[in-house]
Structure 1
Amino acid sequence: MKKNGVQSRWSLAVTLHLLLAAIVHQGFATVAPPTAAPTTTAAPHKDPSNPEKGNYVVNGKNDTACLLAAIGVQLNVSFSSVSQNQTVQEVVNIQPSATNSSGSCDTDSASLRLMTTDVQKTNLTFNFTLNTTSNKYYLSEVALSAAWPDMKDPVSVRNTSLDYLRGSLGYSYMCRDKQTLFVSKDFSMNIFQVQVQPFGLTGNQFGAAEECQLDEDDMLIPIIVGAALAGLVLIVLLAYLIGRKRSHAGYQTI
């Protein structure tokens, strides 16, 4: 009976060990987001490092801020290349030190325009819309015009039916994780370390931040894994105590 008790506890420990490993692996696994079908025929290129975060201010009436944005922007643009004589995709970072910003604000709309001053001439516009019924704002439109040295023809893209960066009036939208905003088949943006507030500013400071779902998920995974580990440790301890108690009971019977 002693031998059976030891084998039972050993089998239980092995089973719980395998179960623990499976849960930890599942907790840290990430699911790759779906990617758009490739539209280029060029050879793979080396992406630049993450862009530097720029801090941009749009002033409204009385020279007070009506839109604040802290954001790193990386452009993914497909175009006809002069040097390669084919369609390529170029990944370019917006450099804050070589960028001028402007914009405008209205009751239910606000815009931020970024215009680069380097050789890769780029004009990028973000338009935000406020739903005055729900008091929610969102990025509703993005427009890009680019004239880069290797472009056979300038690129011009506009999408007026977007729904990104949703926030509440009086609050800022924040997302630490990288996000990809798809604008058209030839243009998307990677944005990093974003905090933006186009409406309901008090002074020249961001309102309280509403964090994006990506950040919330990143915080939730360690909590779930930790809870699972604590639960398994408790189960192993209880199983050990129960097995030990049954082992002692067996000795008394003999």
Structure 2
Amino acid sequence: MKRFLLGTTLVASLAAASTAHTQVLLAEFSEQSYPTNPMNGYGGFTFGDFSVGGAVTATSDSLVLDVAVDNDGVNGKFGGVGVDFGTPAEIAPSVFVLQPIDFDSDVAWWEMRVKLLESNESTTVNAVYRDSDSPDNADQEEYQFNFDLSSIPDDAQFHVITVPANDFGSSSPSTGTPDGMNNPGLNQIQIQSVFGSDLRTHIEVDYVRIYTVPEPTGLTLMGLCLAEVVLVWRKSLKIC
């Protein structure tokens, strides 16, 4: 019986360890990184209808977005707010670029913690990352991800929406000749309203972040050890 318990305990331990994946934060866009990202000292930016006064407000613990007017008269109530990510790196004497954040989009996720505010009409808000495909950041493309605001209740509380980083809604070249592959190189994050929409976007964003869940180290070795223990256990019980 003790031998049986040893085998089942090890199996249970391996199963528990295999599910104990740890989230690793890659990048987070929030009031902590806007209007200036402390990672690199770069200032944030707005464009389109996010550039109207009052459209973006950085509070002490969130970003409040209120895009209510098609100020420029084109593309609906559309625009964005963002900031560059990555750390400065010298690629040639006195030539500095931002070293992008590399990760595997197949094991990474977006997470947005967001609250619907009064008179919000929009059912979707988008997040974008820019993927750099060359050391000098000359070749870049953008990947847009859709967050379904209708999936959360309008109860004046924050809720988390998660989107896989390999499930993008659209992509487009940004600069140069990118490779057309979702293989970041992340060096910018934006929050955008929906292109062409006439709906008001009025939300409060605690953060939008990207995290990865890598395979736990040592599980392969643990599996081999378990197999050896089970083999010895079977032999000791003379199981064919």
Q: TM-score, normalised by structure 1?
A: 0.31
Instruction: Work out which structure has the larger RCO, using CA pairs closer than 8 Å and 6 or more positions apart in sequence.
Output: 2
Q: Counting helix residues as a fraction of each chain, which structure ranks higher?
A: 1
TM-score (norm. length: structure 2): 0.32
